[in-house]
Amino acid sequence: MSLRCLSVALALGLAPSFVLSTQLRVCAEPDNLPFSHADQSGFENRIAEVLAHDLGAKLVYSWQPQRRAFVRKTLGAGLCDAWMGVPADFERVLTTRPYYRSTYVFVYGKRPLRSFDDPQLAALRVGVQLPGNDMAATPPGHALALRGAVEKVVGFPVYGEHPAAQRIVEAVAKGELDAGIVWGPAAAYFARRRSLGVSEATPPSALADLPFQFAIAIGVRRDAEELRDALDAALARRMSTVEHILDDYAVPRTP
């Protein structure tokens, strides 16, 4: 699940039912590594391939940028049957069992950052993903604002030539930022490639109810219970393979 998925406002319609014996049609972002890519190199691509094979279905993609009305234009328009990597409690779709749970993380270079209580936090140049115009639109943004550490915060819009996580990690690697606070599955993939440190970011006690962790599932149309059940069964059968794929991409998981 990318931050785009977390932040986009969506509307869902109805479409023809899934035909299990022929195709598994997946809607995905064409340039959103490590989740998905048009060359099918993302971990969600690999998981979708495993599930399609398990179901005896041909995997077919509908490549769409994740913008406003993504569900209406894809699932709702009948272009696809499933959306990989959605929050398990996402109300606009029917979701499968979660296949991983992850969290926001700190990404850092020479100077470790492991807590919002770090006394030097306010002096650090910190990059955050920015889904809107509000610097505090994400949980890390709210936590930084609570600590008064916003003067040197740099927002990276989630829409751009490359994924925001990649741009933040590159800025940390080049010394343009001291650290980043990024959705873990995206951050760890790029951080490993640049030999940067990663640690779990837990919210300050004053924001204990603010969600920093999300369980991730597959979304289908709300009337597609048969498909949801089939995907649930496939996930149960192939969970060990899914775990290996997540390991390959350094996806951090929480219980």
How many Å apart are CA 19 and CA 126, to the nearest integer? Answer: 47
pTM (two decimals)? 0.86
The tens digit of pLDDT for each residue in 24-82 reads: 999 999 999 999 999 999 999 999 999 999 999 999 999 987 767 677 778 877 889 99
Residue with tokens 């149309």: 221
Q: Which residue is listed with tokens 């039912």?
A: 17
Q: Which alpha helices (DSSP H) does 36-126 contain, by range?
A: 43-55, 70-73
pLDDT at 149 (0 to 100): 74
CA 178 – CA 110 distance, rounded (Å): 8
Indicate whether 1 pLDDT > 60. no
Fold of 3-101+213-248: D-Maltodextrin-Binding Protein; domain 2 (3.40.190)
pLDDT at 70: 74
Give the start-to-end residue ranges of the domains of the chain.
3-101+213-248, 102-207
- Which fold, 102-207? D-Maltodextrin-Binding Protein; domain 2 (3.40.190)
Helix 225-248 and helix 43-55, axial crossing angle in degrees, nearest 10: 130
